[in-house]
Amino acid sequence: MNPVYASVRDLSEAIRAGEASPVELAEVFTERLREHGHRLNSVVAIMEKRALREAKAAQREISLSGPRGPLHGVPYGVKDLIAARGAPTTWGAAPLRDQVLKYDATAVRRLRRAGAVLCAKLAMIELAGGMGYKQPNASFTGPCATPWSLGHWSGGSSSGSGASVAAGLVPFALGSETWGSILSPANNCGVSGLRPTYGRVSRHGAMALSWTLDKLGPLCLTADDCGLVLEAVSGYDPGDASTSRRRYRYSPEKDDFRLGVPVDALDEAQEAVAGNFKDSLRVLEKFATVEEVRFPDFPYEAVTRTILNAEAASAFDEFTEQGLARGLTAPEDRYGPYARTAVLARDYLKALRLRERMARIAEDVMAGFDALVAPSRKAVASPIDQEFRKVSPGTAKDVMGALGNGAGLPAVSVPNGFSGEGLPTGLQFMGRAYDENRVLSAAVEYQRRTGWHRRHPPAFKP
């Protein structure tokens, strides 16, 4: 079989059937990373030695006693804010390009336990966008392109994770989201990306941008693969007090759905985004009831923005005080951290108090629904050399993003079509806390009935 663009589930079947070997897969994907990573600026480091060591161990074990599970022997990459032995952990920032963390993050340890093979550290926006970047060129590895058009941005901050999966350089990758950093690259690169419930996946060993907003999650070719990866990396971790003791088992069993569409879902959306979303609703209506929902007035964005600003200011206090921001790539990131030192404690605490009310609003609006659906982004990928805030719709409120991240709710983005210029658009399903199986089930059913996730960028076909 040709493993490039095979789903994790298909690779797993091939390994089980003896049609693919972990060592062959590691060699194929490290070669793909080497050949194409620089075209996209999507790779920080290829971990060939570690990949071959883990692949050989997987191959030995599988030949003796069979695979441990669906990820055994499957290659992957991680966003470069996740610590892994064998390569620097740069956080995308030039001043930290030589930072070495000599341990594996809990998520990497869990993937090792599942037998997955780590091949690469993947590019990201410097400090996960925490300094307020406005343009794609905000990483010491350069602006990351979407494989659908090298002149357009991959999205961020999990840029390399989205682009590398879309280009077939790794079968899956881990990214992180504080506010939009998984859904944005999933949208721009035309892949499936899952933002889990806050606390599902340990943040231990991952750069902190905002302790109460950061989530790690997978980017894959299919929503089904996202479920397989989430099961492997989720669970309680004494190294991260915010992790949930609820056990997650991926089981997409549901087949009748009730979905809600926010009444303002298409406000200020680009024409292609709106058209593809309406087409998606027609598909969804074949297996789900779809109803409009309305969020009450509430300062959703102010709550989440204030929490993010205050926590980021504290998380990067030393970095800022030492003047290290001066060495960052994007000019706006060099002064970005200073304004947020002005957030007052009373306002941060007020935001934390309002967060509970926001979470209750989300529960009220979403009661009885399996998920809310909306465009993942209201615009397609912006030109790689322009400020995305100027190109994308600027005044539309991101209530789904503010509420979803502020209340820690899961969401999956899947591709749902293309613009006239061939850039992908995305459809998001956002669920109640701990309802990953419901949002994934709906997304899996959508993908069963559509073929957008099976389209791949022509310039990267094997």
- Taking CB under 8 A as the criterion, which residues in 123-152 touch other proteins? 132
Under the criterion CB under 8 A, does residue 342 sit at the interface with other proteins? Answer: yes
Under the criterion CB under 8 A, does residue 336 sit at the interface with other proteins? Answer: yes
Under the criterion CB under 8 A, does residue 335 sit at the interface with other proteins? Answer: yes
Lay out the site mask for other proteins across 287-306 (x = CB under 8 A, - = otherwise). Answer: -----------xx-xxx-xx
Q: Active-site residue among 139, 154, 159, 181?
A: 181
CA dihedral (188, 361, 396, 340) in degrees, to 10, reads -90
Residue 284 Cβ vs other proteins, minimum distance, rounded to whole Å: 32
Residue 191 and residue 185: Cα distance in Å, rounded?
Answer: 8
Under the criterion CB under 8 A, does residue 349 sit at the interface with other proteins? Answer: yes
Under the criterion CB under 8 A, does residue 103 sit at the interface with other proteins? Answer: no
Under the criterion CB under 8 A, does residue 353 sit at the interface with other proteins? Answer: yes
Backbone angles phi, psi at 330, to 5 degrees: -80, 130
Residue 193 and residue 415: Cα distance in Å, rounded?
Answer: 10
Residue 13 and residue 421: Cα distance in Å, rounded?
Answer: 36
**314 in catalytic set:** no
Of 114, 95, 159, 128, residue with least CA distance to 318: 95
Part in contact with other proteins (CB under 8 A); list of ranges 4-12, 47-55, 143-151, 329-337:
329-337
Under the criterion CB under 8 A, does residue 396 sit at the interface with other proteins? Answer: no
Under the criterion CB under 8 A, does residue 355 sit at the interface with other proteins? Answer: yes
Residue 28 Cβ vs other proteins, minimum distance, rounded to whole Å: 46
Helices first, then strands: H and E counts in the chain? 15, 13
Contact 176, 82 (CB under 8 A): yes
Under the criterion CB under 8 A, does residue 332 sit at the interface with other proteins? Answer: yes
Q: Pick from 1, 241, 263, 459: which binds other proteins (CB under 8 A)? A: 241
What is the 8-class DSSP label of residue 201?
B
Residue 308 Cβ vs other proteins, minimum distance, rounded to whole Å: 10
Contacts of 150 (CB under 8 A, 6+ apart): 39, 40, 384, 459
Under the criterion CB under 8 A, does residue 236 sit at the interface with other proteins? Answer: no
What is the 8-class DSSP label of residue 240?
B
Under the criterion CB under 8 A, does residue 389 sit at the interface with other proteins? Answer: no
Under the criterion CB under 8 A, does residue 352 sit at the interface with other proteins? Answer: yes
DSSP 268-314: T--HHHHHHHHHHHHHHTTTEEEEEE-PPS--HHHHHHHHHHHHHHH
Under the criterion CB under 8 A, does residue 432 sit at the interface with other proteins? Answer: no
- C-alpha atoms less than 13 angstroms from C-alpha of 46 in its C-beta half-sphere: 19
Q: In the beta sheet, which residues pair with residue 288?
A: 257
Q: Pick from 340, 432, 438, 453: which binds other proteins (CB under 8 A)? A: 340
Under the criterion CB under 8 A, does residue 327 sit at the interface with other proteins? Answer: no
Q: In the beta sheet, which residues pair with residue 411?
A: 195, 430
Helix or strand run (H / E) with residue 189: helix 183-189
* Between 100 and 349, CB nearer to other proteins: 349
Under the criterion CB under 8 A, does residue 394 sit at the interface with other proteins? Answer: no
Residue 438 and residue 1: Cα distance in Å, rounded?
Answer: 32
Under the criterion CB under 8 A, does residue 354 sit at the interface with other proteins? Answer: yes
* Between 331 and 462, CB nearer to other proteins: 331
Kindly determine how many residues on this chain lie close enough to bind other proteins according to the rule CB under 8 A. 35
Under the criterion CB under 8 A, does residue 60 sit at the interface with other proteins? Answer: no
Q: What would the two tokens of residue 18 be?
A: 């003896």
Residue 212 Cβ vs other proteins, minimum distance, rounded to whole Å: 7
Backbone angles phi, psi at 332, to 5 degrees: -70, -25
Under the criterion CB under 8 A, does residue 326 sit at the interface with other proteins? Answer: yes
Residue 362 Cβ vs other proteins, minimum distance, rounded to whole Å: 12
* Between 300 and 452, CB nearer to other proteins: 300
Q: Active-site residue among 157, 158, 161, 202?
A: 157
Residue 90 and residue 329: Cα distance in Å, rounded?
Answer: 13
Q: In the beta sheet, which residues pair with residue 260?
A: 291, 372
Under the criterion CB under 8 A, does residue 357 sit at the interface with other proteins? Answer: yes
Helix or strand run (H / E) with residue 288: strand 288-293
- C-alpha atoms less than 13 angstroms from C-alpha of 282 in its C-beta half-sphere: 7
CA 308 from chain center: how many Å? 18
Q: Active-site residue among 7, 21, 42, 79?
A: 79
Residue 153 Cβ vs other proteins, minimum distance, rounded to whole Å: 22
**242 in catalytic set:** no
Assign 270 to helix, strand or coil: coil
Under the criterion CB under 8 A, does residue 86 sit at the interface with other proteins? Answer: no
- Taking CB under 8 A as the criterion, which residues in 191-230 touch other proteins? 212
Q: Which residues are catalytic?
A: 79, 157, 181
The residue ranges that bind other proteins (CB under 8 A) are: 132, 212, 241, 298-299, 301-303, 305-306, 309, 323, 326, 332, 334-336, 338-344, 347, 349-357, 359
